Amino acid sequence: MHFDKLFGSLDGFLSYTTGGLVFGAIYALVALGYTMVYGVLQLINFAHSEVFMFGTFAVAWVFVLLHGTDGVTWSLGKALPILLAALIAAMVVSGLVALLLERVAYRPLLKKNAPKLIALISAIGASFALSEAMGLRDHFASWFGLDDNLADYVSPGGARDVYSNPVTIEPTPLFSIGGYQVTDVDLVVVIAAILMMVALDQFVRRTRFGRGIRAVAQDPESASLMGVNSQRVIQGTFLIGGLMAGAAATLYMMKIGSTRQNAGFILGVKAFTAAVMGGIGNLRGALLGGLVLGVMENWGSAVFGAQWKDVVAFVLLVLVLLLRPSGLLGEALGKARA
């Protein structure tokens, strides 16, 4: 163990903390999808990680479409126009996949009043189905005779390999916090995540649809008697979670630059961990849980080594639940104050 690496100097401590906050912001955005669906339906949507994964591919595909496949390195400013188009595409794609999940994997079970365990199994099945569908995208294109036309997108024979954005975004250092060089990409990731979280929090607390979400989360039957369209609220909840996952996918691709058909698995598990740590069903808890998780796993990688990064994250989850089973904030979505 290398405690001196983390606590040996203020620069080192601030460096690991700041780096953790950047990844924590992405965890927080993905965690929103888990926490919103759980807050309304009391169901864990394990397929949300694949909603995120589809968003990452949408980002890369927009760059291929608008730029081509030539590998280049651009500054954030030069890539910004395509990034904005990619953001819209990723949010649309992830939103549509989330709606498809709700329609195919959840709604039939809810109509039959199936046990929540069945819905959980359905979510796990949907997660694998979506992941495998992306891994077989070259076969789908081949069935329609489009494999040559779509070769840049479906990667014939290599659909399960890492798929990289042809445009690498080179971060520009802006200032230092300790030994960590804060770049323009880091700043955009953190600020964008916080702004979206605040906007969503206010949307749920201030708008009519947000009141509907909270009403269904508190008591679905009473909400229906009061005229709230529960089905519409559930669809909207899935859609909002998907839109946030698409935004997170864009930030992820800015930072990482590559994806693959199982890219959402570990990140999705960590985002779920963040949602549980913050208090699943609590929007502000998702932000807090994501940031805490990002920082703690970065600290853990400094002390125990990078190979222990994931272990630290999940041990932290167990410790938080042992000490505070309802999570750090605990308040459920339905109890949020307007």
Which of the given ranges, 14-18, 202-206, 316-320, has the highest pLDDT on average?
A: 202-206
Q: Is the pLDDT of residue 332 over 70?
A: no
Rounded to whole angstroms, how far apart are CA atoms 42 and 32?
14
Q: What is the mean pLDDT of the chain?
A: 86
Burial of 315 from C-beta contacts in 10 A (0-12 / 13-18 / 19+):
middle
Give the tens place of pLDDT for each residue, 123-139: 899 999 999 999 999 99
The reported pLDDT for the residue numbered 126 is 93
Give the tens place of pLDDT for each residue, 82-133: 999 999 999 999 999 999 999 999 889 888 888 888 988 998 999 999 999 9
The reported pLDDT for the residue numbered 306 is 79
Give the tens place of pLDDT for each residue, 206-254: 888 888 888 888 887 888 888 888 889 999 999 999 999 999 999 999 9
Instruction: Look at residues 39, 29, 84 and name the one whose alpha carbon lies nearest to residue 199.
Output: 29
The reported pLDDT for the residue numbered 112 is 86
Which of the given ranges, 55-59, 257-261, 291-295, 332-336, has the highest pLDDT on average?
A: 55-59
pLDDT band at 338 (very low <50, low <70, confident <90, very high): very low
Q: Is the pLDDT of residue 44 over 70?
A: yes
The reported pLDDT for the residue numbered 99 is 94
The reported pLDDT for the residue numbered 335 is 55
The reported pLDDT for the residue numbered 95 is 95
Question: Facing residues of 160 across strands?
Answer: none
- The phi, psi pair for 109, rounded to 5°, reads -70, -40
The reported pLDDT for the residue numbered 330 is 66
Name, in order, each residue with C-beta under 8 angstroms of 166's C-beta and a sequence gap of 6 or more. 60, 63, 64, 67, 68, 69, 70, 71, 72
Task: Report whether 255 contacts 22 (CB < 8 A).
Answer: yes
